[in-house]
Structure 1
Amino acid sequence: MKEFKGRVVVPGTAIAPALVSRDGFNTLASFQKSLMFNDKNATCSDQNNKDIYQKKMAGKALCLPQTIGSTTGGMVLFCASSLGRSPSCLLFSKSIDSLAAAGAILSDVWTENELPTIDNLGDEFLNYVKDDMTIEILEDGIVRIDEGQ
């Protein structure tokens, strides 16, 4: 088991399988079809993200460097959360941007669905984590990765 320490943006705990995007995450492009066509699995619809295109995002520990793209990103995260289609947590290797932070915070305040969010986990985190590794989030910004499957 390996541990990483980041900054807590939205507190909470979670245990979920990892879904890893090594490229910037376009929130609108990734969730657009899920929100428009009632895809409860939140299958990633961003064809420009080769790491997670057509993979299920709902209930996963979404590991990413940063978000990119549309200014609607925060509202898209909030909508996905309010519909129960969000990842179980958001884990950023870099600093979170204000739009993604707003979406995570709105989700925490205005929905029943937790969206624990941690940033500044570092490049080593993103280089280490692989899809389907078990991620455990602790309240203090500790992220544990279980590599045994």
Structure 2
Amino acid sequence: MPRTTMRVPDPGWTDPDCPVARTLDLVGDRWSLLVIRDAMDGARSFTEFRRRTGIAGNILTDRLRKLTAHGVFAQRTAPSGRRQEYVLTDAGRDLFPVIVTLRQWGERHAFAPGEIHSTLVDRHGAPVPEIAPTSADGTLLDADTAHVRKVR
């Protein structure tokens, strides 16, 4: 299946040559990531997103429009036929490892020892293993062992 490409060009990129900056321009605000998180957890309707996040309606409308315009969500008619729902596209589902990595970082660094928090588990109830980047030969990578190279 071909990769989803961005549908709406944006002349106002923070740093047009950097994939991290472009990604943050598209999904890097708190509300967008929480809406994406909730979609991965089964939310589909405006009402569900609003209830789960506590986001103001005007902000949610803005985020859903932006995420849909940029191919993270697609709109479809709900099974009831009465309203629209938002479903993650392939590009949206590709953000799963990003959400997992943010979650795992938060579990390590955003809670005091012993503080109660949620954790992500697989369908058998086992905690999801730590996500860690590796080189082609399987060696763990970190900020000291990887670098950026420009490509054309």
TM range (shorter): under 0.3
TM-score scaled to structure 1, two decimals? Answer: 0.24
TM-score scaled to structure 2, two decimals? Answer: 0.24
Question: Hey, which of these two has a bigger chunk of helix by percent?
Answer: 2
